[in-house]
Structure 1
Amino acid sequence: MTRRPAPARLRPRLDRLHDQYQDPGALAMDPLAVALAYPGGADREVTAFVAAHLAYGRVAPMLQAIRAALAPLGPAPAAQLRAVPPAETAARLGRELGAWTWRFHTGEDMAHWIAAWATLDRESGGRGLEPHLAPGPGEEADDRLSALVQRLRRELPPTRGLRFNLPDPREGAACKRWRMFLRWMVRTGWPDLGLWTAYPPGALVIPLDTHVARISRFIGLGTRRTPDGALAQEITRTLRALCPEDPLRYDFALAHLGILGDCPGVRSLPGCARCPLVDLCRAKR
């Protein structure tokens, strides 16, 4: 059984890694940069809702696809969506995004996805998705996410792209794109948006991708081989023990250590000597 490093050894090294990736260069290749380009909170939420759920595949074309999907909404997306009924939004965007595609997603998928945000925002009285996802007293955050996912499965067309957006944490899914959207909305630390106040940061779960899963195993944050919801919860429990008030403080750095190619996946000196995690890393030579 893999032993986890002691918190006294692990936290200062993760803090150094965190500080290492606090620069605009790392953020420029992240879908969060799309939402940050908008000044208004509601505009940032709706654009983040789109960006997070298209965040898969090669980074450069993915960012281009996100911006193209948002282009019909103009510089003030939330105001435009609030001005007309969601059904009209879905019909108009279906026409304007007719030729748009990104991997599993079509323009029609995005039209329905954006209209779903407008419907939920209207139901919450213009407070966006937070009232639909923030846990109340005695509630589990994942129960709220599961309920919303199941609702959207019933209400949205059963296309491949829309079903790809709707994994359920109560079915064992890692829910990477939902977890990333929630991190952006809830955390106030760099680089996140910190727009929501009712959702506790301590309830967030790490957005698990291949990079985070691999590096987490290297340094003992998690031991499972399968990148599923159980591994995401295992890693988050370890991080929560290190930083209970902000367990996802290290997520951006861990992910970008892999995304930017700074972790080669094998222990290689002297290159790896620059990494703050090198003396904890169990990657093979």
Structure 2
Amino acid sequence: MGTSAATLKARLDSLCVRYDTAGALAKDPLSVPLAYESPLDREVAAFVAAHLAYGRVDPMIRAVRGALAPLGAHPADWLRERSESAIQQHLAQALGNWAWRFHTADDLAAWLLAWRRLDGESRAGLEAHLLPGPDGDSDAALSRLVQRLRAELPASYGSRFSLPDPREGAACKRWRMFLRWMARPSWPDLGLWTRYPVDQLIIPLDTHVARVSRFIGLSRRATPDGKMAREITEALRLLDPADPLRYDFALSHLGILGDCPGVRKRSTCAGCPLYTVCRAGSESEIRTNKS
């Protein structure tokens, strides 16, 4: 398409303005951890919300709130103050028939117990377990943690669904989302971690981000995998080296909220900030989708 970096950045900046709103945030699972006050409570809520973040938005948010309800107003203290057996017993009774898509109440209990064990080792949540090494490789720590949890958690479908490994080529959308929430200090994210390098975050790649990114030339790959996530992130890093993921919320909500029809027409798209740089429905995009 030949769009200049300056033009693309200006259009994406305008998109951020459009979606940096309370209304857009209300349709995002991040709204759940934001309802808590203490940093560690927000981390626990984010750990649950990010990994249940798939499927239709409204019922998903209800499922996340239902999952956290038995832990009360201070989930971190609740988990720290109880034994594993007491936690399992309480959740088995309190959650009843709770489920979300692939995840069962047993999967959720195992996930919360995993946070408790990891926090018990660091006494400061999960940041230490996910920090990039001296070489800046952010995937090495994530892969180690995933492999550890695969060994420690029950081998249920819900647990395995939460444990993709970036070393195996996975996009790791829900892990990337959790990391973005925790590390980015700017709206709408939590910015609770101070040591994780914001410029090393990888975009949480979902179908919406993948589709819009192809439309505006951030990627030409057809498969939404780890390679596409890195390609999009590298393209965004050229526009904002210090904070490439500041565009993620807007890109995803353009699709989540149903504002992108997927076919470029003036009648439906002229109001979109990306209209002049979008190639949706063009021959090149059709070929990319078929490749």
State if a TM-score over 0.5 links the two structures.
yes
In the alignment, what sits opposite 2:17?
A: 19
Correspondent of 1:225 among 219, 222, 226: 222
CA gap of 1:36–1:136, structure 2 versus 1, over 3 A, is: same
C-alpha displacement at 1:97, in angstroms?
A: 2.0
Paired residues for 1:80-159 under 5 Å: 80-125=78-123, 127-159=124-156
Deviation, 1:160, is 0.4
Query: Cα RMSD (Å) of the superposition?
Result: 1.2
Matching residue of 1:69: 67
The 3 A distance-change label for structure 1 pair 131 and 279 is same
- In the aligned structure 2, how far is the partner of 1:151 from the partner of 1:171? 15
Q: 8 Å contact 1:213–1:227 — kept in the other structure?
A: yes
* Aligned 1:1-285 pairs, distance under 5 A: 5-125=3-123, 127-284=124-281
- What secondary structure is seen at the aligned counterpart in 2 of 1:8? helix
Q: SS at 1:194's partner residue?
A: coil
**Secondary structure at 2:276's aligned position in 1?**
coil
Residue 92 of structure 1, CA deviation: 2.6
User: What is the distance in 2 between the residues matched to 1:190 and 1:90?
Assistant: 35
- 1:90 & 1:135 partners in 2: Cα distance? 32
Query: In the aligned structure 1, how far is the partner of 2:119 from the partner of 2:141?
Result: 16
**8 Å contact from structure 1 (residues 100, 106) kept in 2:** yes
Q: Deviations over 1:149-199 (max 9, x none)?
A: 000000000000000000000000000000000000000111000000110
Give me the TM-score of the superposition, normalised by structure 2. Answer: 0.94
Amino acid at match of 1:260: L
Q: Does the 8 Å contact 2:133/2:140 carry over to 1?
A: no
One-letter amino acid matched to 2:258 = G
Q: Is the 8 A contact 2:102 2:158 kept in 1?
A: yes
Alignment check: 8 A CA contact 1:90 1:114 kept: no
| Mapped partners of 2:227, 2:85: distance in 1 | 37
Give, in whole Å, the separation in 1 of the partners of 2:40 and 2:93.
24
Please give the alpha-carbon distance, in whole angstroms, between the structure 2 residues aligned to 1:182 and 1:56: 16
Letter in 2 for 1:240: R
Q: In 1, distance between residues paired with 2:162 and 2:208?
A: 20
Residue type matched to 2:97 in 1? Answer: A
| Number of equivalenced pairs | 282
Amino acid at match of 1:101: A
Aligned-residue offset at 1:96: 2.4
What CA distance in whole angstroms lies between the structure 2 residues aligned with 1:72 and 1:85?
15
Give the distance between the partners of 1:193 and 1:156, measured in 2 at CA.
Answer: 27
Letter in 2 for 1:13: R
Q: Is the 8 A contact 1:218 1:282 kept in 2?
A: yes
Q: Is the 8 A contact 2:169 2:226 kept in 1?
A: yes
Mapped to 2, the partners of 1:181 and 1:194 lie a distance apart of 11
Deviation at 1:215, TM superposition (A): 0.2
Gaps in structure 2 of 5+ consecutive residues: 283-291
Offset at 1:115? 0.8
Aligned-partner Cα distance in 2 for 1:15–1:212: 16
Q: Which amino acid aligns with 1:236?
A: T
Q: 1:122 to 1:273 in 2, by over 3 A?
A: same
Supply the AA of the counterpart residue of 2:22. Answer: P
Q: 1:138: how far off?
A: 1.9
Contact 2:236 2:244 in 1 (8 A): yes
Is residue 179–residue 204 contact of structure 1 (8 Å, CA) maintained in 2?
yes
Q: Determine helix, strand or coil for the equivalent of 2:281.
A: coil
- Offset of residue 139 of structure 1: 4.3
Q: In structure 2, what residue type is equivalent to 1:18?
A: C
After superposition, the C-alpha distances for 1:46-68 in whole angstroms (9 at most, x for unaligned) are 00000000011111111111111
1:172–1:229 contact (8 Å) kept in structure 2: yes
